[in-house]
Amino acid sequence: MTRISLSINGVSHEADVEPRTLLVYFLRECAGLTGTHVGCDTTSCGACTVLMDGQTVKACNVLAVQADGSEVTTVEGLATNGDWHPLQTAFHEEHGLQCGFCTPGMLMASVGILAENPDPSESEVRHALEGNLCRCTGYQNIVNAVLAAAEQLRSSAAQG
Amino acid sequence: MATAEKYVGGGVLRKEDPKLVTGQGTFVESITLPGMLHVAFVRSPYGAATIGAVDTVAAAESPGVVAVLTGEDLAGEWAAGLPMAWPVTDDIRIPDHWPVAKDAVRYVGDAVAVVVARTREQAADGADLVSVDYEERPAVVDIESARADGAPRVHDQFEDNDCYTWALTNGDVDAAFTKADIVVTERYTQPRLIPNAIEPRGVVVQPVPAAGDYTIWSATQIPHIAKVLFALTAGIPEAKVRVIAPDVGGGFGSKLNIYAEEIVCLVLARRLGAPVKWVATRSEGYVATVHGRDQIQEMEIAADTDGRILGYRAKILANMGAYLQLITPGTPLLGAFLFCGSYGGEAYHFECTGVFTNTTPTDAYRGAGRPEATYAIERAIDALARAVGVDPVEIRKRNFLPTGEMVPSPGGLAFDTTDYEQNLDRALEIVDYDSVRAEQRARRESGDSKIIGVGLSTYVEMCGLAPSQVLGSLNYGAGGWDAATVRMLPTGQAEVVTGSSPHGQGHVTSWSQIAADALGIGFDDVTVLHGDTQVAPHGMNTCGSRSLSVGGIAVHNACGRVVDKASRIAAHLLEVAPDDLEFEGGTFSVKGVPDRQATIQEVAYAAWTAHSLPEGEEPGLTEHHVFDPPNFTFPFGSHICVVEIDTETGEVEIVRYVAVDDCGNVVNPQIVDGQVHGGVAQGIAAALFEEATYAEDGTLQTSSMLNYLVPSAAELPSFELDRTVTPSNSNPMGVKGIGEAGTIASTPAVMNAVLDALSHFGITDMSIPATPEKVWTAIRDAKGGAA
C-alpha cells in the first residue's frame, strides 16, 4: 500500500492505495465520486475523462499513485456554487446526451478542448473529441453543445 | 395551478439531464451495499473444447476469495437453463444452455467457473488462478462452413448445425417469376456487429435470506420480463423477485436479454446469503454480450420490362452463434415481412435458416432484422434500376405502394398509413438531387480523383411491437401490450407509472408532456416512475421502437380515465351532470356558466378526502390502462447520402446526409431528432467501419474498442433532418416509432451512394463495410489491375 494525498474538486483526500489502483477506481470507490464512469479497459471510450492539474486525462490510464499531490477535477466539481458550467447547460439545451453514461467524460474533455481553443470550428471540435465515444447521439448535438458553450464562454469573457 | 399550455409537439428540455450532467446518475456500477461480494468469471479462451479437470485450489486460497464454483458445482442451482422465448418453429433445435458450462465450451467467452471475493480486484486475481484443462475441438465460425458436409458440430445433441428453417409465402411467387421480363438476383452479406452500449453490463443482487426476497439491480432494458425469467430460471417464487433497472447507459438491444451473469449472481446471493456484484469489463462484454446481424442473403426481384415489380424471393442464412439467447431465432424474422420494403408486387417468398456456430450468440441489435431486410431490398431496387436503365428515384416512384390507410404489402401485412412519394420528394428537394447529379457528371468528365455518388434508401419499417395476438401467432413467448398507472396526488401533482423502461430515450420527458396535456397540469407537476418492478408491476419494457406507440399510449389512455373520473367528481361538486361540464386546460367548467368551475387539482383533493363523492364512487384519483395495439406501426422515410470517394486512397467521406423521416405525430421534436442522429450514426458505422471477425479457431479478432471501430465524432458528418407527418391509425395519438429508423435506413443509403460513385468503373457490388482497402482494391481491379 502507498499513501497518497490529492485534492479532488478542491477537497483534500488522503488514502492508502494499492500501487495498481487506477485513478478512476480511486475516485469512484475511495473518494465516492461515482460521476466518473468506466466504459472500457483499453483507454478508448473516454467516459472516465477528468482534469488533472488542468490537463484532461483518462482516469483509467492513470495510476492513483501518479495523481499523488495533484489537483483533480471531476464532473461533480464542474458547477460553481451550484451554477452549472456553460458546457453543462449547453449539453442540456442542445440535447447533447441521451443515456448520459459518456456525458461526464464528454463534458470534462470539452472543458479541456475549450481551454486550448476557445473558438473552435465544428471540424476542430469533432477531431478534438476523437477520444470520447458516444453510442447514443451520433455526436451532432454534442458538437453543437460544445460550440454553443464556446460562444457563451467567449461572450462571458468579453464582458468580464 | 391548472394550465392550458400544450406540451406535446413543443420544445421542452429533458428532465433526465440535470442529474446526468452533474455526475449524479445511478448506474449499476455505482451501487454498493454493505458486505457486498464481487464476482469474476473464468471464461473459455477456445471456440470449442471439452472441459476436463478444473483446478480451483489456488484460487480458493487467494486473498479475499470466498468461493470458487464450477459449472458442476452450480448445476443444482438452476431450475431451468437460460431462457429462449421465441421458438420460431415447432421443430426448432434448442440446445441446453447453462449459465456456467459443465462439459464443453462452445465459444470464446463461455463461462466455466466463477470466483467470489471481497473486492473486485481479489475476484479478478482469483479468476486468473483457476486452471482449466481444455481438450480443444475443431470450431466452426461462419455460416457456410457450418453447413458444409462433415462440418464440426457445435452441439453433439443435433445431427448438424441447422437450428430451424422458417418460411413465409404470399401469392404465387413462381408465376410472378415465370412471367417476369427482368429478374434481378443479388447476394449480400450482413457483417456481425457488436452493439457497444457505452455502459458495460452489470448486476447487483441483494438477498434477504430470512424472507427469501431478492432485489436485483441490472443494466437491463427489460426489468419486467427479467423478473419472470429470473424467477423461473433460479427457481424462486416470482413474487419474491424485485428487479430494478436504474439509470441504464444505452442498450441498442444488447441489454434486451437474460444473461448468464444475472442468473449466476442471483443464485450466488442465494447460496452465500450476501449481496453480490458483477460489472463487465469492456473486453468481457465483447465476447459475453450478444452480437447482432451476421447473415447471408439471396435476394431476387421479378419485374416487367418497365421495372414494375411482380415478385420477391428472399432466402436468408442467419448465424445464431453457439446458443440461443432470449430472442436469437426470432431476430432475423423481425425483417421477414420487409424484404419488399415500401414497394408493391403480387407475390412474396421469404425463407430463413438459422445456423449454429462457435461464436458469441447473436440477438437483437438496433433494428433487429429490419436493417438486414431494408439493406437487401434497397440494394436490390438499385440493381433493378440498373437492369431497367432508369434512375434510382424513378424505379422507386414506379413501385411505391399507394398512399392510403391499411395498405396491403406483398409481405402480407397491412401498413397503417402510407404516403411515400411526397416524403421522397422532400428529401430530393433538400439534397437538390439534380445538382448533385450534375456535379457527379462534371467530376467524372474532368477526371477528378475525388468522385461523388448519391444513394437513396426509401425505407419502411415495422415497429410498435405489437398486437399480442400477432406475436402469439409467430410463437413469441410474451405479449406486446404495455401498461400505465396515473395517480393524481392530493397536492395536485401527478405520478405516472410506466411499464416502459428507458435507457436514454427520454421517456420521463415525453411521458410528462403527454400527461401534462391530458390532465391539464404543468410539465413539472408530472413525475414519471419506471424501471422497478415493485413500483411499476406491469410492463413489456423498451425495445423495437415500441415505447411511445404502446407505453406512451397507455399513459395517454390512463390519463383519459383519470379525467373521466375527475369529471364525475367535479360534476358532483358543482351540482351538475357530467355532461354539463367542459374540460379545458385542467379546469372543469359548467357549459354556459364559465365561472362555475373546479380545477383538476381541487378534484384530486376532494377525491382524496372523500368527504363528498358521487354515490358509489371510490375515493382517490388513480387509473390504470393496458394498451394492446390493433396493429404494428410502419414508420417510413427517405434517406439520401452523398459520398465523396478519393480514388487514390479508397477513402469514403460522407459529404451530405439528408434524412426525411415520417414517424407520425411527434411528441418531442428534439428527442426524435436525437434518435435519428444516433440511429443514422450506427447505420453509417455498419456501412463503413464496423465488422466483427473471428479466426477459424473461434478467436474473436475484433475483441476490443482498439480493433473494432466504433466511430467517434471525427468519423461522422452532421445530418440534415426533416420530417413529413402521416399519423398512424394504430393508436389514438397517431404516433409511430423512431428509435431504430435511422439505423434501418442509413446503411443501404450509404452503400448505394458508394456504388453509385463507383458505377462508371463498372463496379456494381461490394460488401459492407466499404473500407478504404476494399474500395481502393475494387477501383484497381476495375481498371485492370493498375493502381
Within 13 Å and on the Cβ side, how many CA atoms surround A2?
16
Q: How many CB atoms lie within 10 A of CB A16?
A: 10
**CB-CB neighbors (< 8 A) of A45 in chain B:** 198, 282, 705
CA distance B196 to B250: 9
Q: Return the H-helix or E-strand segment holding B509.
A: helix B507-519
**Residue B610 Ramachandran class (φ > 0 left, ψ -120 to 50 alpha, else beta):** left
What are B354's three cell numbers? 438459422
Give mean pLDDT, residues B186-208. Answer: 98
Over the stretch B501-522, which tens digit does the pLDDT of each residue have? 999 999 999 999 999 999 999 9
Q: How far is B702 from chain A (nearest CA, A)?
A: 13
- Please give the ipTM for the structure prediction: 0.98
**CB-CB neighbors (< 8 A) of B710 in chain A:** 44, 133, 135
pLDDT, residue A12, reads 97
Task: Report residue B786's pLDDT band, with 50, 70 and 90 as the boundaries.
Answer: low
Q: Are B322 and B110 in contact (CB under 8 A)?
A: yes
CB-CB under 8 Å, A45 with B23: no
CB pairs < 8 Å spanning A and B: 183
CB-CB under 8 Å, B704 with A41: yes
Nearest CA in chain B to A82: B22
Q: How far apart are the first and last CA of chain B?
A: 73
CA distance A15 to B639: 55
Using the predicted structure, report yes or no on whether residue A3 has a pLDDT greater than 80. yes
pLDDT, residue B537, reads 82
Using the predicted structure, report yes or no on whether residue B222 has a pLDDT greater than 80. yes
What are B351's three cell numbers? 425463407
**CB-CB neighbors (< 8 A) of B196 in chain A:** 133, 135
pLDDT, residue B3, reads 53
Nearest to B714 among A42, A97, A126 (CB): A126
Q: How far is B19 from chain A (nearest CA, A)?
A: 9
**CB-CB neighbors (< 8 A) of A33 in chain B:** 23
Nearest to B198 among A101, A130, A131 (CB): A101
Torsion A69-A70-A71-A73 (CA) sign = negative
Please, what is the average pLDDT of chain B?
97
Task: Report residue B5's pLDDT band, with 50, 70 and 90 as the boundaries.
Answer: low
Give mean pLDDT, residues B248-263. Answer: 98
- Contacts for B227 with CB less than 8 Å, ≥ 6 apart: B238, B241, B242, B243, B533
In chain B, the percentage of residues whose pLDDT exceeds 90 is 97
CB-CB under 8 Å, B504 with A99: yes
| Angle made by CA atoms B536, B538, B541, in degrees to the nearest 5 | 90
Give mean pLDDT, residues B357-374. Answer: 98
- SS3 at position B755: helix
Q: Are B571 and B607 in contact (CB under 8 A)?
A: no
CA distance B121 to B117: 8
- Contacts for B371 with CB less than 8 Å, ≥ 6 apart: B293, B335, B683, B686, B740, B743, B744, B747
Query: Which residues numbered 128-157 in A keep a CB inside 8 Å of some CB on B?
Result: 129-143
Task: Report residue B609's pLDDT band, with 50, 70 and 90 as the boundaries.
Answer: very high
**CB-CB neighbors (< 8 A) of B716 in chain A:** 126, 138-140
Residue among B556, B557, B570, B568 nearest B600 (CA):
B570
pTM of the model: 0.97
Q: Are B636 and B455 in contact (CB under 8 A)?
A: no
In chain B, the percentage of residues whose pLDDT exceeds 70 is 99
Over the stretch B690-716, which tens digit does the pLDDT of each residue have? 999 999 999 999 999 999 999 999 999
Does B283 contact A at CB distance below 8 Å? yes
Residue among B758, B723, B744, B765 nearest B334 (CA):
B744
Does B591 contact A at CB distance below 8 Å? no
In chain A, the percentage of residues whose pLDDT exceeds 70 is 100
CA distance B9 to B110: 47
pLDDT, residue B785, reads 77
**CB-CB neighbors (< 8 A) of A142 in chain B:** 713
Across chain B, which distance is largest between two alpha carbons, in Å? 91
Using the predicted structure, report yes or no on whether residue B787 has a pLDDT greater than 70. no
**CB-CB neighbors (< 8 A) of A134 in chain B:** 198, 713
CB-CB under 8 Å, B719 with A136: no
Task: Report residue B10's pLDDT band, with 50, 70 and 90 as the boundaries.
Answer: confident
Using the predicted structure, report yes or no on whether residue B460 has a pLDDT greater than 60. yes
Using the predicted structure, report yes or no on whether residue B740 has a pLDDT greater than 90. yes
**CB-CB neighbors (< 8 A) of A95 in chain B:** 13-14, 670-671, 673-674
Using the predicted structure, report yes or no on whether residue B1 has a pLDDT greater than 50. no
Using the predicted structure, report yes or no on whether residue B642 has a pLDDT greater than 80. yes
